[in-house]
Amino acid sequence: MEFVIGIDPNEHDAFVKQHSLSNLLQSSNWAKVKDNWDHKIVGVKENGEIVASASVLIKRLPFSFSILYTPRGPVMDFHNTAVVECFFQGLKHFARTQHAIYLTMDPAVHCNDYLLAEANEQRYAYCDTIIDILKQNGACFKGYSKSLEDTIQPRYHANVYACDNFRDSLPKSARKALNIAERKMLKAEACGVEAVHEFAQVMHYTEARKQIALRDEAYFEKLMQIYGEDAIIYLIRIPLKELYEDASAKLADNEKALSECPENAKKKRFTLTEQHVSYEREVTELKQHIEQCGDSVVGAGALCIKFGKDSELLYAGMDDTYKRYMAPYLAFYQCMRWSFEHGCTSCNMGGIEGNLQGGLTKFKANFHPTVNEYLGEFDIPYRKLMYRIAIKLLARRKKQKS
């Protein structure tokens, strides 16, 4: 058994993909996305075969110091104490060569899984054992945090798993939303890197609505180029001209029916009058939208990447102007369908708050997800005094940002 620095990326990816702790953030390509960090793949080999591996990001600091981070890593059997000890002993020597102050890790170990509608606070029995093993190897457990802001990666994720007749298995609310999107003739376009500009624009609407800063167009382009055929963007296009023509035809039919309706048919006239107001309002709105945006507009978009048997729906945005057309539901559904058609067993919709509240959780609940609760973050201090100072500075910086 030996600790190896500089494991071949293809060898690393093959090992991670087949492992129960497989995660997109441990793919060798993720380090290319995070190109403002240096990186190195390290691990343990036994008889020439990988038994532990980690893609480690390296943040360079002044005076040759650094901070290490292995997102959703390391990947190994944490119950195999011999492998664990070999890995962390080797990692300690590697950290010294990088003049590292500390390392942060958040292994893809689930401490709980449950349907969102069946939330519980129970955790798997092995969690305490793994925490103790990591502590014995110098790690500091940062606790079972609840807030999205408390950790680098969210501890709680909403994950949808493949099944037969997937659409039919969705809750009534999601099926209703998808039916509305189809009645409104929304078009789901499967796109590659050529769609990045339009996708970035719809993400900008989300930024403005939530008053948050997300990623820019260059970042989305980088993701699509690096992951290639394993990445997809779904744009949901709203056919304004077709909707206008359809609404205009319905309005004309309604006006004809209203003119022919007897005065004493009060109930029917009331219904037709209500429909007239609705059709007239829709025609007016659609005409304005066409004047501003042209014959069609992107109402929502989603970017999804697959790695091994899992996919991650990393980014999604919508133009709130057209929210009644249910475009986001169609974007999410198409990403899930694409994932399952390409051999994935799950499609991760991303992080949610640990209290399972808020608008984001409410929206994702429409897809009947399983909540995957991860174990959480650990730090391994290599220079304890500098570590304490760095943690205080980072906490202050985070507070200023918030």
Residue 210, pLDDT score: 76
Maximum separation of any 2 CA atoms in the chain, in Å: 92
Cα separation, 25 vs 31, in Å, equals 8
Cα separation, 323 vs 320, in Å, equals 5
- Range 151-176 burial, b when 16+ CB lie within 10 A, else e: bebbbbbbbbbbeeebeeebeeebbe
Residue 364, pLDDT score: 96
Cα separation, 234 vs 229, in Å, equals 14
With 90 as the cut, is the pLDDT of residue 396 above it? no
Which of these, 374, 371, 375, lies nearest to 346 by C-alpha position?
371
Mean pLDDT of 12-32: 98
Residue 117, pLDDT score: 83
Q: How many CB atoms lie within 10 A of CB 179?
A: 12
Residue 38, pLDDT score: 98
Residue 399, pLDDT score: 76
Residue 402, pLDDT score: 64
Confidence of residue 21 (pLDDT cuts 50, 70, 90): very high
| Residue bearing tokens 């480690």 | 56
Query: pLDDT tens digits for 253-280?
Result: 999 999 999 989 999 999 999 999 999 9
Query: pLDDT tens digits for 100-149?
Result: 999 999 999 999 999 988 988 899 999 999 999 999 999 999 999 999 98
Instruction: Report the chain's mean pLDDT, rounded to a whole number.
Output: 95
Query: pLDDT tens digits for 334-385?
Result: 999 999 999 999 999 999 999 999 999 999 999 999 999 999 999 999 999 9
